[in-house]
Structure 1
């Protein structure tokens, strides 16, 4: 069969070179991500638990109706009662940071991909690779470059979660009816005006579906990220698994499920909210 290709050695050599050459850049990225996580964590931990629960339940009621409002209220009260409130807020800070960074990275790439066929053809196999590679593999270079803690967990989550935002931003813009694009061109709009006033507003439902998937994928990484030092509900689940504490693992897993349902329903209905006084047709 011939000599084996030294792919492992090539990858390790590339990682070593990147680590030594761009150490300053990784340090800057680490500080930026850690600061963002701390900001979200402070935001979620600052108000008393009961105040935040009532506020989120009210937002859920306004976004999706009474049933989701009641579920959110009872679900978050249950999380607080089980003693997982602080860890849930830590998890939410990680998820929001991962989703925020994924949107910042994914939205421009999706727009660029929609406007340039070559970029789309280049990004498509790369996104396929990112979505099919086992999530555990991302932890190895993340730990190598950023050490243990929340930062490599966020980096791995972003790599794992950003493809839906890129794909669906691209899809949403490409699905804008061609006659509307022609009408915008006929009125003499610039490419920037056409993007912000025609394409993005019409693509917003599809774009929000991508953001929803990104948030869900970020949340799915919390348990994996706990293996490299990220705190939150994932650490509780991981500890319960390693110590064979079925009951505690079920409680922590239940908190993850409640958080996932609330985030999923809120992001699904956020784009459907109509301004006050707007008539439904």
Structure 2
């Protein structure tokens, strides 16, 4: 009965859409292009509001601009301190006239202290891994840039964790706060970072501090969500025990709830670390420096080798911070008796290591600064590989590119650009209604209409076309790889290392070989997006297939099902909700990458955001960024609703993700 009703509703909706589309722009021009009188001048309003904040907004004793500059100064203090310890040393004076009065910590001291932390948190194996990652930074000449990046991470992560934890606690305690904050968190995670760089620059100034603020906006939402979820999942028995022993509300929170939710909270900390590292290149555009600046400089000169080495240095830092944070979360400490040194042997060892390294650095310069003559580089090798491919396979590459452009990309682009905005908004509303009820229908239809009435429809359709094609290719590549890896444990071990590396490589690194092989344009953007977005399709496919109940597989074998039938009719059907969530994450990755591909000539919302950044136009950038966010939210809500419906049909309950 319900299936017949669905078919009837979709039949009517598609018939109405086709009638509207066939009527054409000549008969109903307002359904294809929003009249100028209907356009909402949101960009002008946002720009005017930003100027008012900067020039006129006041709290009485001080202006809003003075308040933001004060925040910048407060953030700048710990950043400069950490940067002095790791990279620049302590300076007296400003600019080129500055004199170093104390040198930074020697590389040996930094590497050994982190290795000692790894030994404390995870044992000898982790300590060796940490040393290997720092050895890579040294050997390939990335140490100084890595320390600048590490300084910003060591400041941004504690601030992001503290802010996310505080907001998450509020959301857990007060449901109305959670309902109000959730849409803001959605926008913080889906608006391209480029879109809010301009207002951040205007309010906080150019430099590392503005980069830290941008990183906080990008990295804090996962910590907030994870905190709320982790606290909500603390068993009632633990809370009852806290009340029985007479805990005050503050004691209940910090001595009962937070320790009980520690494993979940550390997932949030890990996410803050990873997202902060993802921001290092974009942050370098507004003065952060470090490894991000090196990757950006390599992209500008198309030096693939240098960009790859700097990108792998970011991967090395990500591995160190990721493994250390996870190991620290799993570690369970035991109280020790005796002197301070006996109670804290690793801390004492760290202090002693630093002192010894500093003294050795004074006597042996190579301990303080890694000699330039010892630096290795594979940059020329990688650049020559790309050059060799270009020389020997140029005609084949061009033929393949043109075939895909002429037969797939261009026709699909023209199709989407010819669709009526009113019909597309209506179809999205119908999809929302059938999957999630009237509330989702209103959300999907309203957000699509807002894209149209703010004048972003054409560029939004180009974004959807590029994102859609890229996601299709990413799923066609990722799902089969995931199926093969789920069946073969050794293959999965190899694939996991590859996709972990791909996920931590900066997105800008993917652009360089794509541009060098395919020049600029939509095809190049698609290749870069597919390479960046294929990871979740693999990971979630493996997750779904490995999560299938083995008893169901055995039952299928007992009934005489072949291996193909077990895969197609049991495993893939039961893994469909997770595969749909993988599709959702692939779309999110593709949208985040599309903004960056504006650097290689796409003419979508990403280009609009990038132009706004170059022209310092906050209104234009935020409106285009909000359009990207609306596309992401529509896709996210519809796919999540579809995954829930799939789980309900299969009797699997709610999705964990």
TM-score band by shorter chain is over 0.9
Unaligned runs of 5+ in 2: 1-33, 58-63, 88-103, 337-657
Is the 1:96–1:215 Cα contact (8 Å) retained in structure 2?
no
Question: Where does residue 41 of structure 2 map in the other structure?
Answer: 6
Q: Cα gap change, 1:75/1:189 in structure 2, threshold over 3 Å: closer, same or farther?
A: closer
Counterparts of 1:85-104 in structure 2, within 5 Å, are 85-104=143-162
Deviation, structure 1 residue 276: 4.3
Report deviation, 1:104: 2.4
Q: 2 CA distance for matches of 1:79 and 1:183?
A: 49
Residue deviations 1:147-171 (CA, integer Å, cap 9, x gap): 2211211111000000111111111
Find the partner of 1:271 among 313, 316, 329.
Answer: 329
Cross-structure match for 2:78: 36
- What is the TM-score normalised by the length of structure 2? 0.41
**What 5-or-longer segments of structure 1 have no aligned partner?**
none
User: Could you tell me how far apart the structure 1 residues matched to 2:244 and 2:275 are?
Assistant: 41
SS in 1 for 2:261: helix
Give the alignment of 1:97-112 within 5 angstroms. Answer: 97-112=155-170
Does structure 1 residue 231 correspond to structure 2 residue 289?
yes
Secondary structure of 1:98's counterpart equals helix
Rounded Cα–Cα distance in structure 2 between residues aligned with 1:109 and 1:218: 18
Q: 1:23 aligns with which of 42, 47, 65?
A: 65
Residues 79-228 of structure 1: matches in 2 within 5 Å?
A: 79-228=137-286
Q: What is the CA–CA distance in structure 1 between the aligned matches of 2:302 and 2:194, rounded to whole Å?
A: 22
Q: Post-superposition shift, 1:53?
A: 0.8
Distance 2:230 2:53 in 1: 35
CA distance in 2, matches of 1:229, 1:186: 53
1:73 to 115, 118, 131: 131
User: Which shows bigger deviation, 155-164 or 78-87?
Assistant: 78-87
The one-character-per-residue Cα deviations of 1:110-166 (angstroms, maximum 9, x if unpaired) are: 111110110111111111111111121121111111222112111110000001111
TM-score (normalised: structure 1): 0.94
For 2:119, what is the secondary structure of its paired residue?
Answer: helix
Tell me how far apart the structure 2 counterparts of residues 138 and 66 of structure 1 sit (CA, whole Å). 43
Which runs of at least 4 in structure 1 moved beyond 3 Å after TM superposition? none
Q: Any idea what SS the aligned residue of 2:259 has?
A: helix
Larger displacement relative to structure 2 (85-94 or 269-278): 269-278
Distance 1:139 1:129 in 2: 15
- On the 8 A contact 1:110/1:170 being kept in 2, the answer is yes
Separation (CA, whole Å) in 1 of partners of 2:238 and 2:301: 60
- SS of the residue 1:271 aligns to: helix
State the match for 1:53 in structure 2.
111
Larger mean CA deviation between 233-242 and 177-186 belongs to 177-186
Structure with more contact order per residue of length (Cα contacts < 8 Å, sep ≥ 6) = 1
| Residue equivalent to 2:90 | none
Deviates more, 1:263-272 or 1:70-79: 70-79
Aligned residues: 278
Distance 2:117 2:315 in 1: 19
| Whole-angstrom CA distance in 2 between matches of 1:277 and 1:197 | 17
**Displacement after TM superposition at 1:251 (Å):** 1.2
Q: State the shift of 1:213 in Å.
A: 0.3
Provide Cα deviations, 1:176-203, integer angstroms capped at 9, x if missing partner: 1112222322333211111112101101
Alignment RMSD:
1.5
Structure 2 residue corresponding to 1:241, chosen from 288, 295, 299: 299
Q: Residues 59 and 186 of structure 1: is their aligned pair in 2 closer, same or farther, counting only changes over 3 Å? A: closer
Identify the range of structure 1 (181-190 vs 217-226) with the bigger mean alpha-carbon deviation: 181-190
Q: CA offset at residue 4 of structure 1?
A: 0.6
Q: Structure 1: how far apart are the matches of 2:272 and 2:261?
A: 17
Deviation at 1:277, TM superposition (A): 7.3
CA distance in 2 between counterparts of 1:225 and 1:184 reads: 44
